[in-house]
């Protein structure tokens, strides 16, 4: 598969997340604040999964195929969670707060 296809698919996924999060944030100020909070939690969890946990795998496990698979899964899942959370956070912050 061509690398530009991955970029195009990623762009479509990011746009879908952005548009649905923006729609949800526009519904009410409580929904916007809830979305901001959930996005920050997802951002922290995704960063920990993608960047911290792979370094905590013991050296003896890194030499086995199961260890390599565990690290790759942490990178993929953590990176996907990080990307989705950043996109939702940007969408929620792009909506101006409603006056109360």
Q: Give the residue ranges of DSSP H helices in 48-96.
A: 59-62, 65-94
Assess whether pLDDT exceeds 90 at residue 97.
Answer: no
Q: Would you list the domain boundaries of the chain?
A: 3-94
By mean pLDDT, which of 7-11, 21-25, 32-36, 57-61 is the weakest?
57-61
Assess whether pLDDT exceeds 70 at residue 50.
Answer: yes
pLDDT at 9: 95
CA 25, 28, 29, 34: dihedral to nearest 10 degrees? -60
List, for residues 67-87, the tens digit of each pLDDT value.
899 999 999 999 999 999 999
Q: Is the dihedral of CA 5, 22, 77, 83 positive or negative?
A: positive
Q: How far is 19 from 48, CA to CA, in rounded Å?
A: 26
Assess whether pLDDT exceeds 90 at residue 66.
Answer: no
Q: How far is 10 from 56, CA to CA, in rounded Å?
A: 29
- Confidence (pTM): 0.87
């Amino acid at each position: 598969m061509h690398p530009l296809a991955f970029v195009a698919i990623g762009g479509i996924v990011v746009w879908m997340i952005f548009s649905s999060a923006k729609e949800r944030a526009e519904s009410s100020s409580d929904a916007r604040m809830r979305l901001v909070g959930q996005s920050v939690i997802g951002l922290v969890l995704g960063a920990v999964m993608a960047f911290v946990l792979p370094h905590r795998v013991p050296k003896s496990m890194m030499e086995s195929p199961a260890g390599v698979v565990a690290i790759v899964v942490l990178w993929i899942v953590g990176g996907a969670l990080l990307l989705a959370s950043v996109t939702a956070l940007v969408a929620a912050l792009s909506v101006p707060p409603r006056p109360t």
